[in-house]
């Protein structure tokens, strides 16, 4: 019997499985999603079930091209189940969106049909045909231009920001290209109307992670956010007017590592796991005071207003941008390669919340002879001040507490800052009890500490079995205080136990006894 006759006897499902084995490497992602990668381009993976962009649809198309007949739905379903089983026995592999890292080398998927990859390592970058990692492309993955002769300064012809903010913006862009598995700051572009916020955001996305939908409106809820953010490396939210608490928390989690677990479609027991870390850009005129945990993760850049006589038609601006983009990308890659190499050895004396970004910014400052790190810290202090001023209780505590308070409960602190007399009425947003005060202090403690306050709790290790707080206002004259006074004591030590996360050294305890400033429980 001829080989053709034997092939004809095989079911369509079997032929689909054999076709897949011949053309694709099968595997499973860390999230449990089966995928296939063409053997000729093993660095580009396709999920088995991903609609029109999935391996299942690709198999159906190839089968028709090879045989001239259509694979019926049941045959595709049977073949897909078999391929899922084959993939499931493989060791899980990490699939990357746009940017990957392996053994100290960074790889950037250009998103081009030819599969070109940009390799960054040893202080230089090159364009290659493949990579030893696997990239996953989605419907939001668009193609990068191939870099040409570098000219990074041309970026400022399109991005209208102060010179002092330029290194901060460049550090955000560089971090997006050379750091794939560390927390990234949320780039915030705030400006008045007429400052080209949307146009600038679109260009920045086009530079580091091109997408057919570069700008997105604010999601409706946390689930919508996870769905929108899981498909691209850079997520840009356009024209925000406010940041509700749930979105603030979602942005924080995306910067440091987000995820979601929910029931998979069309199953009774299987779960769909989505986890990711993203680079986020937001813009708006005034979103109000942001919550302190988000404020710590923001890299704020203010856009300057564009004069009317300097405005250009949108079509003209886009054409100029497309022409300049390859050179700007090349210049950015030049800087990114230098920073990538320097990150192995650089360190910073003051490390804020976004420690990895701080090192990147310090390296950018070093190569460009700028003071972006100082600018970044100044903006962070301003954001911390704004977040504290927006909370009436915290603001009143800052104004009212002039002497140290040691071992006060949340209820004690609430009583201490509550005005006396029968005429005072509690505002609606004011905390109702000690538990509410504790929740506020825990949320705002990092911002208060950044402004010089000492805010610590004893972990409820006391005879009252309640959380007791120690609150020190900042010294009025730090230099004079350091010159003439001993260091502040190590608080709540001895019979009460330690502070847990206190940052005060044991040798800072003065020789003279400390006055008892405890608040007595009512």
- Give the pLDDT of residue 503: 36
Domain final position from 381, 400, 433: 381
- Dihedral class, residue 78 (left if φ above 0, else alpha if ψ from -120 to 50, else beta): alpha
Q: Can you read off the two tokens belonging to residue 74?
A: 């049941």
Asked if 189 and 301 count as a contact pair (C-beta separation under 8 A), the reply is yes
- pLDDT tens for 95-141 read 999 999 999 999 999 999 999 999 999 999 999 999 999 999 988 99
- Give the pLDDT of residue 1: 47
- If asked whether residues 203 and 300 sit together in one domain, one would say yes
What is the C-alpha separation between 454 and 503, in angstroms, rounded?
A: 9
What is the C-alpha separation between 241 and 190, in angstroms, rounded?
A: 11
- If asked whether residues 116 and 27 sit together in one domain, one would say no
Domain membership of residue 247 as a residue range: 152-381
- If asked whether residues 331 and 243 sit together in one domain, one would say yes
Asked if 416 and 331 count as a contact pair (C-beta separation under 8 A), the reply is no
Torsion of the alpha carbons at 125, 130, 133 and 137, rounded to the nearest 10: 100
- pLDDT tens for 232-274 read 999 999 988 888 888 988 888 888 776 555 544 444 444 455 5
- If asked whether residues 312 and 442 sit together in one domain, one would say no
498 falls within a domain: yes
Q: Can you read off the two tokens belonging to residue 510?
A: 């003065």
Overall average pLDDT of the 417-429 stretch: 72
Query: Does residue 487 surpass a pLDDT of 70?
Result: no
- If asked whether residues 418 and 478 sit together in one domain, one would say yes
- If asked whether residues 192 and 298 sit together in one domain, one would say yes
1 falls within a domain: no
131 falls within a domain: yes
Out of 165-169, 306-310, 397-401, pick the least confident: 306-310
Overall average pLDDT of the 278-299 stretch: 86
Query: Does residue 502 surpass a pLDDT of 50?
Result: no
Element (H, E) at 272: strand 271-276
- If asked whether residues 76 and 115 sit together in one domain, one would say no
Q: Can you read off the two tokens belonging to residue 436?
A: 């509410």
Asked if 225 and 219 count as a contact pair (C-beta separation under 8 A), the reply is yes
- pLDDT tens for 32-79 read 889 999 999 999 999 988 777 788 888 888 889 888 888 888 999 999
Q: Nearest 5°: CA angle at 462, between 460 and 466?
A: 40
Asked if 201 and 214 count as a contact pair (C-beta separation under 8 A), the reply is yes
What is the C-alpha separation between 85 and 62, in angstroms, rounded?
A: 21
Query: Does residue 275 surpass a pLDDT of 80?
Result: no
By C-alpha distance, which of 211, 282, 274 is closest to 248? 282
Query: What mean pLDDT is reported for the chain?
Result: 82
Asked if 302 and 261 count as a contact pair (C-beta separation under 8 A), the reply is no
333 falls within a domain: yes
Domain final position from 42, 62, 93: 93
118 falls within a domain: yes
- Give the pLDDT of residue 325: 96
- Give the pLDDT of residue 176: 96
What is the C-alpha separation between 218 and 237, in angstroms, rounded?
A: 6
Estimate to the nearest angstrom the gap between the alpha carbon of 75 and the chain centroid. Answer: 42
Percent of the chain residues topping a pLDDT of 90: 40
Out of 72-81, 397-406, 507-516, pick the least confident: 507-516
- If asked whether residues 350 and 220 sit together in one domain, one would say yes
Task: Decide: residue 424, CB within 10 A, 0-12 exposed, 13-18 middle, 19+ buried.
Answer: exposed
| Stated length of the chain | 522
| Rg, the chain, Cα only | 28
What are the φ/ψ torsions at residue 110 (nearest 5 degrees)? -75, -15
Task: Decide: residue 299, CB within 10 A, 0-12 exposed, 13-18 middle, 19+ buried.
Answer: buried
163 falls within a domain: yes
Overall average pLDDT of the 178-196 stretch: 88
Parallel, antiparallel, or unpaired: how do β-strands 468-472 and 405-409 relate?
antiparallel
- If asked whether residues 369 and 500 sit together in one domain, one would say no
Q: Can you read off the two tokens belonging to residue 69?
A: 């007949």
515 falls within a domain: no
Confidence of residue 312 (pLDDT cuts 50, 70, 90): confident
Q: How many domains does the chain have?
A: 4
- If asked whether residues 289 and 424 sit together in one domain, one would say no
- If asked whether residues 465 and 367 sit together in one domain, one would say no
Overall average pLDDT of the 342-367 stretch: 89
Domain final position from 346, 381, 416: 381
What SS3 state is found at 100?
strand
Out of 214-218, 307-311, 465-469, 495-499, pick the least confident: 495-499
User: 493 or 312: whose pLDDT is higher?
Assistant: 312
Overall average pLDDT of the 181-191 stretch: 90
Element (H, E) at 46: strand 44-47
- Dihedral class, residue 257 (left if φ above 0, else alpha if ψ from -120 to 50, else beta): left
Could you tell me which residues come within 8 angstroms of residue 248 by beta carbon, excluding any fewer than 6 positions away?
290, 291, 293, 294
116 falls within a domain: yes
By C-alpha distance, which of 137, 148, 83 is closest to 110? 137
By C-alpha distance, which of 118, 278, 320 is closest to 187? 278
- If asked whether residues 50 and 115 sit together in one domain, one would say no
User: 392 or 504: whose pLDDT is higher?
Assistant: 392
CATH (domain of 163): 3.40.50.300
Overall average pLDDT of the 422-437 stretch: 77
CB atoms within 10 A of CB 4: 7
Parallel, antiparallel, or unpaired: how do β-strands 99-102 and 124-128 relate?
unpaired
What is the C-alpha separation between 292 and 313, in angstroms, rounded?
A: 39
């Amino acid at each position: 019997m001829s080989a053709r006759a034997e092939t004809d006897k095989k079911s369509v499902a079997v032929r689909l499985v054999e076709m897949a084995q011949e053309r694709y490497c099968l595997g499973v992602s860390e999230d449990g999603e089966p995928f296939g990668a063409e053997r000729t381009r093993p660095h580009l993976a396709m999920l088995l079930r991903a609609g029109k962009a999935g391996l299942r649809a690709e198999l159906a198309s190839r089968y028709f091209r090879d045989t001239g007949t259509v694979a019926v739905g049941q045959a595709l379903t049977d073949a897909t189940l078999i391929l899922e089983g084959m993939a499931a026995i493989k060791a899980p592999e990490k699939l990357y969106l746009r940017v990957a890292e392996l053994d100290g080398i960074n790889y950037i998927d250009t998103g081009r049909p030819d599969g070109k990859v940009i390799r960054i390592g040893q202080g230089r970058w090159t364009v290659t045909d493949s990579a030893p990692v696997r990239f996953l492309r989605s419907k939001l993955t668009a193609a990068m231009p191939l870099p040409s002769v570098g000219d990074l300064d041309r970026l400022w012809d399109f991005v209208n920001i102060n010179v002092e903010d330029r290194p901060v913006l460049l550090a955000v862009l560089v971090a997006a290209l050379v750091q794939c598995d560390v927390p990234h700051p949320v780039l915030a572009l705030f400006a008045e109307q007429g400052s080209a916020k949307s146009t600038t955001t679109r260009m920045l996305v086009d530079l580091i992670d091109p997408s057919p939908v570069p700008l997105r409106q604010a999601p409706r809820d946390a689930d919508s956010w996870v769905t929108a953010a899981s498909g691209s490396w850079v997520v840009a939210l356009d024209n925000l007017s406010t940041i509700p608490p749930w979105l603030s928390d979602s942005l924080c989690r995306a910067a440091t590592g987000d995820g979601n677990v929910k029931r998979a479609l069309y199953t009774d027991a299987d779960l769909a796991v989505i986890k990711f870390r993203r680079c986020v850009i937001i813009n708006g005129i005034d979103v109000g005071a942001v919550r302190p945990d988000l404020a710590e993760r923001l890299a704020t850049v203010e856009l300057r207003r564009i004069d009317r006589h300097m405005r250009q038609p949108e079509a003209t601006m886009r054409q100029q941008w497309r022409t300049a983009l390859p050179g700007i990308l090349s210049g950015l890659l030049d800087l990114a390669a230098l920073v990538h190499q320097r990150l192995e050895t650089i360190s910073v004396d003051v490390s804020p919340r976004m420690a990895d970004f701080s090192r990147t910014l310090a390296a950018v400052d070093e190569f460009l002879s700028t003071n972006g790190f100082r600018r970044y810290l100044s903006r962070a202090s301003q954001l911390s001040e704004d977040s504290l001023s927006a909370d009436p209780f915290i603001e009143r505590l800052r104004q009212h507490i002039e002497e140290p308070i040691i071992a006060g409960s949340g209820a004690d602190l609430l009583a201490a800052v509550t005005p006396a007399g029968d005429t005072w009425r509690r505002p609606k947003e004011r905390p109702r009890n000690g538990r509410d005060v504790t929740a506020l202090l825990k949320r705002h403690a990092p911002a208060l500490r950044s402004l010089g306050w000492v805010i610590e709790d004893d972990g409820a290790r006391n005879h009252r079995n309640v959380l007791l707080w120690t609150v020190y206002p900042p010294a009025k004259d730090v230099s004079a205080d350091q010159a003439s006074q001993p260091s502040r004591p190590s608080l709540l030590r001895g019979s009460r136990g330690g502070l847990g996360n206190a940052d005060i050294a044991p040798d800072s305890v003065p020789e003279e006894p400390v006055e008892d400033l405890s608040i007595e429980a009512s």
